[in-house]
Amino acid sequence: GGLNDGLDVDELVNEIGLDADEIAWRKEFVGFDEEDVQRLSRYEDAFAENADQIADDFYDNLTGNQQTVDVIGRSDKGIEQLKRTQSAYLVTLAGGDYGPEYFEDRARIGKIHDMLEMPMKHYLGQYGVYYDLILPIIGDRLTESLAGRVGETVSDAAPSEADGVG
Protein backbone atom coordinates (compact mmCIF):
# COMPACT_ATOMS: atom_id res chain seq x y z
CA GLY A 1 0.00 0.00 0.00
CA GLY A 2 0.86 3.68 -0.01
CA LEU A 3 4.21 4.43 -1.61
CA ASN A 4 4.42 0.89 -2.95
CA ASP A 5 1.27 1.55 -5.00
CA GLY A 6 2.96 4.43 -6.81
CA LEU A 7 6.09 2.45 -7.54
CA ASP A 8 6.52 0.38 -10.70
CA VAL A 9 9.24 -2.11 -9.73
CA ASP A 10 9.70 -3.34 -13.29
CA GLU A 11 10.27 0.24 -14.44
CA LEU A 12 12.69 0.83 -11.56
CA VAL A 13 14.64 -2.34 -12.36
CA ASN A 14 14.90 -1.31 -16.01
CA GLU A 15 15.88 2.24 -15.07
CA ILE A 16 18.80 1.12 -12.93
CA GLY A 17 19.79 -1.71 -15.26
CA LEU A 18 19.25 -4.43 -12.71
CA ASP A 19 19.56 -7.50 -14.91
CA ALA A 20 21.38 -10.80 -14.40
CA ASP A 21 24.72 -9.32 -15.48
CA GLU A 22 24.35 -6.38 -13.10
CA ILE A 23 23.43 -8.67 -10.21
CA ALA A 24 26.46 -10.86 -10.95
CA TRP A 25 28.69 -7.77 -11.13
CA ARG A 26 27.40 -6.46 -7.81
CA LYS A 27 28.01 -9.80 -6.10
CA GLU A 28 31.51 -10.02 -7.57
CA PHE A 29 32.25 -6.40 -6.64
CA VAL A 30 31.59 -7.04 -2.95
CA GLY A 31 33.03 -10.57 -3.03
CA PHE A 32 29.71 -12.28 -2.33
CA ASP A 33 29.86 -15.95 -3.25
CA GLU A 34 28.39 -19.35 -2.38
CA GLU A 35 30.45 -19.53 0.82
CA ASP A 36 28.76 -16.32 1.95
CA VAL A 37 25.37 -17.84 1.20
CA GLN A 38 26.26 -20.85 3.36
CA ARG A 39 27.61 -18.67 6.17
CA LEU A 40 24.50 -16.50 6.19
CA SER A 41 22.16 -19.49 6.14
CA ARG A 42 23.60 -20.55 9.50
CA TYR A 43 22.07 -17.43 11.02
CA GLU A 44 18.58 -17.70 9.56
CA ASP A 45 17.00 -19.22 12.65
CA ALA A 46 18.88 -16.86 15.01
CA PHE A 47 17.75 -13.87 12.96
CA ALA A 48 14.16 -15.16 12.94
CA GLU A 49 14.23 -15.69 16.73
CA ASN A 50 15.53 -12.15 17.33
CA ALA A 51 13.88 -10.23 14.49
CA ASP A 52 11.13 -8.60 16.53
CA GLN A 53 13.50 -7.43 19.27
CA ILE A 54 15.96 -6.07 16.73
CA ALA A 55 13.16 -4.21 14.95
CA ASP A 56 12.02 -2.75 18.29
CA ASP A 57 15.56 -1.65 19.18
CA PHE A 58 16.16 -0.30 15.67
CA TYR A 59 13.04 1.87 15.80
CA ASP A 60 13.76 2.93 19.37
CA ASN A 61 16.98 4.38 18.00
CA LEU A 62 15.27 6.02 15.03
CA THR A 63 12.47 7.54 17.09
CA GLY A 64 15.02 8.99 19.50
CA ASN A 65 16.17 11.51 16.87
CA GLN A 66 13.97 14.28 15.49
CA GLN A 67 15.54 14.16 12.01
CA THR A 68 14.69 10.49 11.57
CA VAL A 69 11.27 10.97 13.19
CA ASP A 70 10.56 13.57 10.48
CA VAL A 71 11.41 11.04 7.75
CA ILE A 72 9.30 8.33 9.41
CA GLY A 73 6.44 10.83 9.57
CA ARG A 74 6.46 11.08 5.77
CA SER A 75 5.66 7.37 5.50
CA ASP A 76 2.07 6.22 5.27
CA LYS A 77 2.95 3.28 7.53
CA GLY A 78 2.86 3.49 11.27
CA ILE A 79 5.76 2.46 13.49
CA GLU A 80 4.31 -1.00 14.17
CA GLN A 81 3.95 -1.69 10.45
CA LEU A 82 7.49 -0.47 9.85
CA LYS A 83 8.75 -2.73 12.63
CA ARG A 84 7.06 -5.73 11.00
CA THR A 85 8.67 -4.84 7.69
CA GLN A 86 12.05 -4.48 9.37
CA SER A 87 11.63 -7.79 11.15
CA ALA A 88 10.85 -9.56 7.86
CA TYR A 89 13.81 -7.83 6.19
CA LEU A 90 16.22 -9.25 8.77
CA VAL A 91 15.06 -12.80 8.14
CA THR A 92 15.53 -12.42 4.37
CA LEU A 93 19.16 -11.44 4.91
CA ALA A 94 19.95 -15.05 5.73
CA GLY A 95 17.28 -16.67 3.57
CA GLY A 96 19.66 -18.05 0.98
CA ASP A 97 17.92 -16.71 -2.12
CA TYR A 98 19.96 -13.82 -3.51
CA GLY A 99 18.60 -13.72 -7.04
CA PRO A 100 16.55 -11.23 -9.03
CA GLU A 101 13.63 -11.03 -6.59
CA TYR A 102 15.97 -10.29 -3.69
CA PHE A 103 17.64 -7.48 -5.63
CA GLU A 104 14.32 -6.13 -6.91
CA ASP A 105 13.01 -5.95 -3.35
CA ARG A 106 16.16 -4.13 -2.20
CA ALA A 107 15.83 -1.68 -5.11
CA ARG A 108 12.16 -1.11 -4.20
CA ILE A 109 13.02 -0.43 -0.57
CA GLY A 110 15.82 1.91 -1.59
CA LYS A 111 13.48 3.81 -3.88
CA ILE A 112 10.90 4.16 -1.13
CA HIS A 113 13.57 5.65 1.13
CA ASP A 114 14.37 8.05 -1.71
CA MET A 115 10.68 8.93 -2.12
CA LEU A 116 10.56 9.68 1.61
CA GLU A 117 13.47 12.06 1.01
CA MET A 118 15.60 10.21 3.51
CA PRO A 119 19.03 11.83 3.61
CA MET A 120 21.93 9.57 2.70
CA LYS A 121 23.43 10.16 6.16
CA HIS A 122 20.35 8.51 7.70
CA TYR A 123 20.28 5.64 5.22
CA LEU A 124 23.95 4.81 5.69
CA GLY A 125 23.89 5.57 9.40
CA GLN A 126 21.09 3.07 9.90
CA TYR A 127 23.40 0.32 8.67
CA GLY A 128 25.77 1.05 11.53
CA VAL A 129 22.90 0.86 14.00
CA TYR A 130 21.66 -2.33 12.39
CA TYR A 131 25.07 -4.00 12.47
CA ASP A 132 25.43 -3.11 16.15
CA LEU A 133 22.14 -4.92 16.76
CA ILE A 134 22.93 -8.09 14.81
CA LEU A 135 26.62 -8.49 15.64
CA PRO A 136 25.93 -9.82 19.17
CA ILE A 137 23.70 -12.51 17.63
CA ILE A 138 26.39 -13.46 15.15
CA GLY A 139 29.02 -13.39 17.90
CA ASP A 140 26.94 -15.61 20.17
CA ARG A 141 26.33 -18.09 17.38
CA LEU A 142 30.03 -18.11 16.46
CA THR A 143 31.02 -18.65 20.10
CA GLU A 144 28.58 -21.58 20.38
CA SER A 145 29.93 -23.07 17.17
CA LEU A 146 33.55 -22.74 18.25
CA ALA A 147 32.82 -24.14 21.70
CA GLY A 148 31.14 -27.14 20.09
CA ARG A 149 34.08 -27.73 17.77
CA VAL A 150 36.60 -27.44 20.60
CA GLY A 151 34.52 -29.87 22.67
CA GLU A 152 34.44 -32.36 19.81
CA THR A 153 38.17 -32.03 19.25
CA VAL A 154 38.93 -32.55 22.94
CA SER A 155 36.64 -35.59 23.06
CA ASP A 156 38.23 -37.06 19.94
CA ALA A 157 41.74 -36.50 21.29
CA ALA A 158 41.10 -37.78 24.84
CA PRO A 159 42.56 -41.19 25.59
CA SER A 160 39.99 -43.92 26.08
CA GLU A 161 39.94 -47.26 27.82
CA ALA A 162 40.38 -48.88 24.43
CA ASP A 163 43.75 -47.12 24.24
CA GLY A 164 44.77 -48.86 27.45
CA VAL A 165 44.32 -45.76 29.54
CA GLY A 166 41.92 -45.53 32.40
pLDDT at residue 155, as a whole number? 65
pLDDT over 80 at 150, yes or no: no
Least confident interval from 27-36, 114-123, 125-134, 143-152: 143-152
The model's pLDDT over 118-141, given as tens digits with 9 standing for 90+, comes to: 999 998 999 899 999 999 999 988
Q: Estimate the share of the chain in helix, then strand, then coil, as percent rounded to the nearest 5.
A: 80, 0, 20
pLDDT at residue 144, as a whole number? 80
Which residue would you say has higher pLDDT here, 1 or 92?
92
pLDDT over 70 at 164, yes or no: no
